[in-house]
Amino acid sequence: MIVRAWVGGCLAAGALAAAAAWSTLGAHETRPVHSVCGPDLSRDDVVAAKSKGVAVVEAVENTRYREDGGSAYLTTRVKTLEAFKGRFGDVLHITQGVKNGGTPGRYATEDPDRYAVLEPGRRYVVAVQSGSTTGSAGTEAWAWYAQPAQRGIAGERDHWQQALAGDAEDAETTGCEDVHAG
């Protein structure tokens, strides 16, 4: 009886050791994958529906660049030209994610088609996901969408009023992308 228990224990320990070795060896062959999910920001009706605020702004000055935990952020002081959704102060600070390693005047984003870097002297439509848009001292807003205002203020107003009036029936549906880490 004791011999059987001892043999059974050895077999169990051996199986665990084999599983651990297999797991360790397999980890070097594949990269971990996780999904990043969020609203479809390629659709303006979804941007309008899911954002806290949408406005045309003029970038005045890049005021701060910082890197933190592998991410980089740029804060820009902007002047509000016209708000389409939400309440915007006359002047406020907007922060956005940018690529690491930026130098003054040379910043980039991972998705410039939907997320342009705010450059002083230019006008943009920004959609704010979180933070304060009032412009109160010490506050800033997080822009998750920024595009050059190419239609002029009146054209952007018409476009975004239509987007805000849109149904965006699947605005709740999130699109996900697999991201390979490592």
Residue ranges covered by each domain of the chain: 2-33, 44-165
pLDDT score recorded for residue 36: 53
How does DSSP classify residue 30?
S
For 95-133, how does the pLDDT look when each residue is reduced to its tens digit (9 = 90+)? 999 988 777 777 888 877 778 999 999 999 999 999 999
Residues 6+ apart with CB under 8 A from 27: none
User: Residue 2 phi/psi, 5° resolution?
Assistant: -65, -40
pLDDT score recorded for residue 17: 47
pLDDT score recorded for residue 31: 47
Which is more confident, 101 or 154? 154
Q: How far apart are CA 72 and CA 97, in angstroms?
A: 6
pLDDT score recorded for residue 11: 44
For 57-85, how does the pLDDT look when each residue is reduced to its tens digit (9 = 90+)? 999 999 999 999 989 999 999 999 999 99
- Angle ∠(49,81,53) on CA atoms, nearest 5: 20
For 29-56, how does the pLDDT look when each residue is reduced to its tens digit (9 = 90+)? 444 444 456 667 778 999 999 999 999 9
pLDDT at 14 over 70: no
Q: How far apart are CA 53 and CA 2, in angstroms?
A: 73
What is residue 49's three-state secondary structure? Answer: helix
pLDDT score recorded for residue 102: 74
CA-nearest of 60, 78, 59, 58 to 153 is 58
Task: Using a pLDDT cut of 90, give the percent of the chain over it.
Answer: 54
* pLDDT band at 23; cut points 50, 70, 90: very low
Q: How far apart are CA 92 and CA 98, in angstroms?
A: 19
User: Does domain 44-165 correspond to CATH entry 2.40.50.120?
Assistant: yes
Residues 6+ apart with CB under 8 A from 114: 41, 42, 145, 147
Total length of the chain: 182
